[in-house]
């Protein structure tokens, strides 16, 4: 992995009253966090930001407290491209409790109904999953962070208030059965952003005729990113302060699926100033752009009629920080 940071400052300074004060630093990169159970996405972000002493950070879309797994965190210049991960397809391991319906659709809620699901076969589950593969409509659950008049739906649900929700179109690319044990089944789900996996679990249970709820959920992928190389908060905390920033991947990992354009030093300088450049490349809706040095990531752009047009650019100091970082070992 690559360490991308400004000149190091002492880890701890003292305030006028003599109390220790954390010295923040400018970091530029992406941390692949394996979020623990029970922690909100924002709490996980704040904890990681504190451990890395980072000045600027943001996450790329929420992951429910009851879910674990991949939560990409963007630092510094990488925050300019966080929308790419937010908009990307997702991948989950979802464990369904067959025959159990709950008030929230997951293991946290009150059990509303129990039905015998011992006779459900693998073939029946495969057929039910196939019925929800492709473009489908989902009604967002009441126990979700979706806002209504400025308030999250789960807040209304806790007050016993039911809000009418409009169906949303999402795409389920693939559902594969990973394993079955008694009345539980684990599914590998590849889907578009905005898919409610607990709703999918309930719909599959309804299709099977026995009901179901979501027993556990783990996100394993977001766009081009996966759990490979992901770290836990405990692993970060176990490292000495000087080694923690080396866990960051460079910002362009978020754009790994896009074609690469490399410019000369003179052309790179003009591109960074926002000027359009002529390139011998076909039209493309999105490309990642580099200077002549291997790690001189400049930003994102698109190509129209032979012109390279900037979309999001790094600043010269951010590019310099990337070039000054040690070579990646990953």
pLDDT of 6 reads 44
pLDDT string in tens for the chain (330-residue length): 544 444 444 455 555 666 567 789 999 999 999 999 999 899 999 999 999 999 999 988 888 888 999 999 999 999 999 999 999 999 999 999 999 999 989 998 899 999 999 899 999 999 999 999 999 999 888 877 778 888 877 788 888 888 888 899 999 999 999 999 989 999 999 999 999 999 999 999 999 999 999 999 999 999 999 999 999 999 999 999 999 999 999 999 999 999 999 999 999 999 999 999 999 999 999 999 999 988 899 999 999 999 999 999 999 999 999 888 755 544
pLDDT of 7 reads 40
Of residues 34, 43, 64, 252, which has the active-site annotation?
64
Paired tokens of 34: 């394996």
pLDDT of 306 reads 96
pLDDT of 163 reads 86
Cα–Cα distance measured from residue 53 to residue 72, given in angstroms and rounded to the nearest whole number: 17
Cα–Cα distance measured from residue 283 to residue 305, given in angstroms and rounded to the nearest whole number: 6
By C-alpha distance, which of 227, 201, 230, 229 is closest to 216? Answer: 201
20: left (phi over 0), alpha (psi -120 to 50) or beta: beta
pLDDT of 16 reads 63
pLDDT of 19 reads 58
pLDDT of 144 reads 75
Cα–Cα distance measured from residue 85 to residue 193, given in angstroms and rounded to the nearest whole number: 9
CB neighbours of residue 99 within 10 Å? 22
Q: DSSP labels for 95-140?
A: EEEETEEESSSBTTSPEEEE---TT--HHHHHHHHHHT-EEEEEPP
Q: Exposed, middle or buried, 85 (CB in 10 Å: 0-12/13-18/19+)?
A: buried
Cα–Cα distance measured from residue 90 to residue 40, given in angstroms and rounded to the nearest whole number: 18
Residue ranges of domains in the chain, CATH in brackets:
24-88+224-251 (3.30.2350.10), 90-222 (3.30.2350.10), 258-324 (2.30.130.10)
CB neighbours of residue 153 within 10 Å? 20
Give the CA dihedral 26, 31, 34, 38, nearest 10 degrees: 30
| Catalytic-residue membership of 64 | yes
Percent composition of the chain: helix, strand, coil (DSSP 3-state, to 5): 25, 35, 40
pLDDT of 132 reads 97
Paired tokens of 110: 């009150």
pLDDT of 162 reads 86
pLDDT of 12 reads 54
């Amino acid at each position: 992995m690559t360490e991308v940071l400004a000149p190091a400052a002492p880890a701890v300074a003292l305030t006028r009253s003599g109390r220790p004060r954390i010295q923040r630093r400018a970091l530029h990169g992406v941390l692949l966090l394996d979020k623990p159970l029970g922690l909100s996405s924002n709490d996980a972000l704040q904890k990681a930001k504190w451990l890395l002493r980072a000045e600027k950070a943001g996450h790329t879309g929420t992951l429910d407290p009851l879910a674990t797994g991949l939560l990409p965190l963007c630092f510094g210049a990488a925050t300019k491209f966080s929308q790419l991960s937010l908009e990307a397809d997702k991948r989950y391991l979802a464990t369904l409790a067959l025959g159990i319906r709950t008030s929230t659709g997951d293991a946290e809620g009150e059990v509303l109904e129990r039905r015998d699901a011992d006779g459900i076969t693998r073939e029946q589950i495969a057929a039910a999953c196939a019925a929800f593969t492709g473009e489908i409509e989902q009604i967002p659950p009441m126990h979700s962070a979706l806002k209504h008049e400025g308030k999250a739906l789960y807040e209304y649900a806790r007050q016993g208030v039911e809000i009418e929700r409009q169906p949303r179109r999402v795409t389920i690319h693939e559902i594969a059965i990973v394993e079955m044990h008694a009345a539980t089944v684990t599914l590998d789900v590849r889907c578009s952003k905005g898919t409610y996996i607990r709703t999918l679990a309930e719909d599959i249970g309804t299709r099977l005729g026995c009901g179901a709820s979501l027993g556990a959920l783990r996100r394993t992928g977001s766009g081009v990113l996966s759990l490979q190389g992901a770290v836990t908060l405990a692993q970060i905390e176990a490292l000495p302060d000087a080694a923690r920033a080396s866990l960051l991947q460079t910002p362009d990992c978020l754009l790994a699926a896009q074609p690469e354009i490399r410019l000369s030093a003179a052309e790179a300088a003009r591109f960074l100033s926002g000027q359009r450049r002529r390139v011998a490349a076909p039209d493309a809706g999105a490309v990642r752009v580099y200077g002549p040095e291997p790690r001189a990531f400049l930003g994102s752009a698109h190509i129209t009629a032979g012109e390279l047009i900037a979309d999001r650019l790094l600043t010269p100091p951010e590019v310099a920080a990337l070039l000054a970082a040690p070579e990646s070992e990953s």
